[in-house]
Structure 1
């Protein structure tokens, strides 16, 4: 039997929408998606919402900045279906991803500290080909070729076979590109940073990008706290 969500205070879709800058259709869509619990209906078929629905909407909108729209939807749907353990698992996954992103940032910063001012010779020790380097990074060779076209990596060529040869500096650039891509940067944003890395002493743009990345991770962590507080309020109200 469906839980009776009525209370002495009845809210219309427009009442929920106005407080959050939403359309009434968005509120109805959220209910249909399971983000809000099912609404009761009047004798004429109109939806009636309650403060519980308002709390659910606040929780959902608060979850989005930290978890993303898709994960926030899945979390709210799980809660409304009574699958709180699944909701907690989804939240844990977002926290694990944030931790992984922080570790990625630390890896980039570590790589920055270890940058060499002078490139190594293409034929020197540590040279590798496109397949082994792609496997090491966990990407496809086609991705490395795309990065080459964008100017992120500049491999040499084997004089006998014509195959691409990546020296230690090329591999470093590929690692930085890979880590910055994971941080959400576009190829056109990464290219000038890598170019500055290649030039001795030109590290300020990369350090500024890392500072921006760090700030976004902190904002995301704080947003998760805010989302958790609103979700806890909704869970308490649900009983």
Structure 2
């Protein structure tokens, strides 16, 4: 029985590739120009001709953009295609490790918040002697005194001023605020998000928004991790093809 040649892989025009992957024609061209996807082959008339690897690369880019944001996704996808296979895979594994670390930080922050709330339920009323200097509070939180000053500038903390030198003094309420800010920052929240949560806490006097913010952070990391898993499969397929297989003959 005579052997038959396998059918050639499908080829796409720019418009066909865009339609197949849900991208605009302009974005496909931009991503090729940025070396995010492999270079297209060219017909004799100069028109681009894409192959299956380009569809895989675009699918990987979409998932990476969900996991990392579009800028980091472009950099990452460009880099992994230029690296040896084992180094490229290690690069993706490192991204998973970073997300896992973020999840661990958010979980630790939730645990710390639970402890703070529990202490609030059992604390005795504030007294003048119950407080800390800026150096004492910085040491207790494991941050620099400059960090506490920055938080104060951002409206997150309001220490009292004491003595002829107007030194900062943190009563129990300010210490509690500082601990909550530290929890949110450790959980991956940026300053604007922390400001919003602290405003809500002061207006409502309820820590449920804090719990919601950290829980939302965990859900976001979960979505990012899922997207990164999907991207990793496509990237492994893409770099296993090798540069010579990216273009149609």
Shared fold (TM-score, shorter chain, > 0.5): yes
Structure 1 segment 9-158 matched on structure 2, within 5 A: 9-115=10-116, 116-117=119-120, 118=123, 120-121=126-127, 123-124=129-130, 127-129=132-134, 133=138, 137-138=142-143, 141=146, 144-158=148-162
The answer to whether 1:192 aligns with 2:196 is no
8 Å contact from structure 1 (residues 130, 166) kept in 2: no
8 Å contact from structure 1 (residues 152, 177) kept in 2: yes
Instruction: Give the secondary-structure state (helix, strand or coil) at the position aligned to 2:222.
Output: helix
Compared CA separation, residues 16 and 137, structure 1 to 2 (3 A): farther
Kindly state the Cα deviation for residue 194 of structure 1 after the two structures are TM-superposed: 4.0
Structure 1 segment 149-228 matched on structure 2, within 5 A: 149-167=153-171, 169-181=173-185, 182-184=188-190, 186-195=193-202, 199=205, 202-228=206-232
8 Å contact from structure 2 (residues 81, 88) kept in 1: no
Larger radius of gyration: 2
* Aligned residues between the structures: 228
Render the CA deviation track for 1:33-57: whole Å, top value 9, x for unaligned.
2211121112222221111111111
8 Å contact from structure 2 (residues 64, 228) kept in 1: yes
Q: Unmatched 5+ residue regions in structure 2?
A: 1-7
Counterpart in the other structure of 2:4: none
Q: Distance in 1 between matches of 2:226 and 2:233?
A: 11
Render the CA deviation track for 1:82-103: whole Å, top value 9, x for unaligned.
4334433332332222122122
Q: Unmatched 5+ residue regions in structure 1?
A: 1-6
Structure 1 residue ranges, 4+ long, deviating more than 6 angstroms after superposition = none
Aligned-residue CA RMSD (Å): 3.1
TM-score (norm 1): 0.78
TM-score (norm 2): 0.75
Q: Distance in 2 between matches of 1:84 and 1:168?
A: 55
